[in-house]
Amino acid sequence: MADTPTSRVTYDVVTRSIARTLGNPGKGYFALLALAVALLAVGIVCLLFLLRYGLGLAGYSHPVYWAVYITCFVFWVGIAHSGTLISAILFLFRSGWRTAVYRTAEAMTVFAVMTAGLFPLIHIGRQWYFYWLIPYPNERGLWPNFKSPLIWDEFAIGTYFTVSTVFLIMGLIPDIAAVRDLATGWRKKLYAITAVGWRGTNEQWRHYTRGYLYLAALATPLVLSVHSVVSWDFAMALVPGWHATLFAPYFVAGAIYSGVAMVITLLVPIRKLFHLEELITVHHFENLAKLCLLTGLIVSMSYCTENFTAWFGGNPHERAAFWYRAFGPFWWASWTMNICNGLLPWLLWSKKVRTSVVALFVVSIFVNVGMWFERFVIIVVSLAGEPFERFANATYNPTWADWGIMAGSFGWFFMWFLLFVKNFPTVSISEVKEVLPPPKRAKAVAT
Amino acid sequence: MKVVNPLTAIFHPPPTPGVLAVFGQLDAAVDAMPRHELEDALDQPVSPVRMFTLVGGIAGCAVGAWLTLYMSYDWPVVVGGKPVGSIPPYVVIMFEMTILFGALSTILGIAFNALFAARRLGTVAYDARFTNDKFGIFVPSEPARASQVESLLRGAGAEEVRRA
DSSP characters for B7-41? Answer: HHHHHSPPBPPEEEEEESSGGG---SS--HHHHHH
Q: What is the pLDDT, as a whole number, of residue A7?
A: 59
Looking at the complex, does the CB of residue A155 fall below 8 Å from at least one CB of chain B? yes
Looking at the complex, does the CB of residue A162 fall below 8 Å from at least one CB of chain B? yes
Q: What is the pLDDT, as a whole number, of residue A400?
A: 94
CA angle A270, A217, B68 (to 5 degrees): 110
Looking at the complex, does the CB of residue A171 fall below 8 Å from at least one CB of chain B? no
Percent of chain A with pLDDT over 70: 95
Which residue among A10, A155, A440 sits closest to B26, beta carbon to beta carbon?
A: A440
The string over A326-358, giving b where at least 16 C-beta atoms fall within 10 Å of a residue's C-beta and e elsewhere, is eebebeebbbbbbebbbebbebbeeeebbebbe
Q: What is the pLDDT, as a whole number, of residue B89?
A: 92
Nearest CA in chain B to A144: B71
Which residue among B74, B86, B109 sits closest to A147, beta carbon to beta carbon?
A: B86
Looking at the complex, does the CB of residue A439 fall below 8 Å from at least one CB of chain B? yes
Q: What is the pLDDT, as a whole number, of residue A94?
A: 84
Name residues whose C-beta falls within 8 Å of residue A7's C-beta, 6 or more positions apart in sequence: A1
Interatomic CA distance for residues A332 and A323, integer angstroms: 13
Interatomic CA distance for residues A172 and A166, integer angstroms: 10
For chain A, the domain total comes to 1
Looking at the complex, does the CB of residue A443 fall below 8 Å from at least one CB of chain B? no
SS3 A203: helix
For residue A143, give Cα distances in angstroms to A362, B36, B71, B121, B142. 48, 49, 6, 48, 65
DSSP characters for A7-22? Answer: TT--HHHHHHHHHHTT
Does residue A386 form part of some domain?
yes
Does residue A2 form part of some domain?
no
SS3 B161: strand
Interatomic CA distance for residues B57 and B106, integer angstroms: 9
Which residue among B24, B86, B119 sits closest to A197, beta carbon to beta carbon?
A: B119
Looking at the complex, does the CB of residue A147 fall below 8 Å from at least one CB of chain B? yes
Looking at the complex, does the CB of residue A158 fall below 8 Å from at least one CB of chain B? yes
Task: Give B149 to chain A, closest Cα distance, Å.
Answer: 20
pLDDT-flagged residues of chain B (< 70): 1-17, 23-39, 117-123
Q: What is the pLDDT, as a whole number, of residue B117?
A: 62
Question: Is B32 within 8 Å of A209 when comparing Cβ atoms?
Answer: no
**How many CB atoms lie under 10 A from the CB of residue B17?**
14
Model ipTM value: 0.89
Which residue among B104, B106, B115 sits closest to A196, beta carbon to beta carbon?
A: B115
- For residue A197, is it left (φ>0), alpha (ψ between -120 and 50) or beta? left
Q: How far is CA A292 from the centre of its chain?
A: 13
CA angle B99, A85, A282 (to 5 degrees): 160
The H-assigned helical ranges of A181-246 are 185-194, 202-235
Q: Encode pLDDT of A414-433 as tens digits.
A: 999 999 998 899 888 888 88
Question: Is B44 within 8 Å of A156 when comparing Cβ atoms?
Answer: no
For residues A13 and A442, the answer to whether their CB atoms sit within 8 Å is: no
- The residues pairing with B140 across neighbouring beta strands, listed in sequence order, are B18
Range of the domain at A170: 11-128+144-438
For residues A103 and A96, the answer to whether their CB atoms sit within 8 Å is: no
Question: Is A181 within 8 Å of B131 when comparing Cβ atoms?
Answer: yes
Query: Structure pTM?
Result: 0.88
Looking at the complex, does the CB of residue A146 fall below 8 Å from at least one CB of chain B? yes
Q: What is the pLDDT, as a whole number, of residue A387?
A: 63
Nearest CA in chain B to A176: B131
Q: What is the pLDDT, as a whole number, of residue A432?
A: 84
Q: What is the pLDDT, as a whole number, of residue A129?
A: 85
pLDDT-flagged residues of chain A (< 50): 1-2, 444-447
Question: Is B118 within 8 Å of A204 when comparing Cβ atoms?
Answer: yes
